[in-house]
Amino acid sequence: MIDIRPAQVADLQSIQQANIANLPENYVFKFILYHNISWPQGSFVATNSDNQIVGYVLGKMEDDEAENGKDNRLSAHITSIAVNREYRRQGLARRLLQQSLKSLRENYRAEAVSLHVRESNQAAFKLYRDGLGFEVKELTKSYYADGEDAYSMVKTLTD
């Protein structure tokens, strides 16, 4: 039985470990902590019956005025999401994102949400587009450190 709940400070090290284990884009602990301190209702974890973290989503509000000003909407951003390999294709990423987006809307009045995904990451792309209704806004050239392009995706959030 997998439980989805808001991330707490005590979870942040496990989130960082899951991030390192599952993705090439890794974040310093300070940045993960910044999410939790600034938007405590924005990030969620999936835990197994042994209370181990098997997936996470890091969500935040845009704190960059330029990002918020682009279309005059209060915007949220998904920084990172991953589910450990042995727990994939059970709907956990979809559940994590649904909870995070609902909470960013309810707690921080987010009107839209954005994220980036590697052009080659078909699993994540399908999750965002087909599973959750994100749309491609643009292809950002050489977005990643290794030169790969990113789809910049957005979704309008409503009650």
Contact set with ligand COA (CB under 6 A): 22-23, 81-83, 88-94, 117, 121-124, 126-127, 130-131
**From the CB of 137, what's the least distance to ligand COA, in Å?**
15
Closer Cβ to ligand COA, 28 or 37, answer by number: 28
Contact between 114 and 75 under an 8 Å Cβ cutoff? The reply is yes
Instruction: Provide, rounded to whole angstroms, the least separation between the CB of residue 122 and ligand COA.
Output: 6
Distances (CA, A) of 36 to 44, 97, 137, 148: 10, 16, 27, 29
Nearer to ligand COA, 113 or 117 (CB): 117
- Nearest distance from residue 26's CB to ligand COA, in Å? 12
Dihedral angle sign, alpha carbons of residues 138, 142, 143, 144? positive
CA distance 127 to 147: 23
Closest distance of CB 19 from ligand COA, Å: 9
- Beta carbon of residue 127, minimum distance to ligand COA (angstroms, whole number): 3
At position 19, the amino acid (one-letter code) is N
Q: Which is nearer to ligand COA, 69 or 135 (CB)?
A: 135
Contact 18, 58 (CB under 8 A): no
Closest to 144 in 3D by CA, of 117, 123, 114, 125: 117
Name which of 12 and 81 has its Cβ closer to ligand COA: 81
Of 107 and 152, CB closest to ligand COA: 152
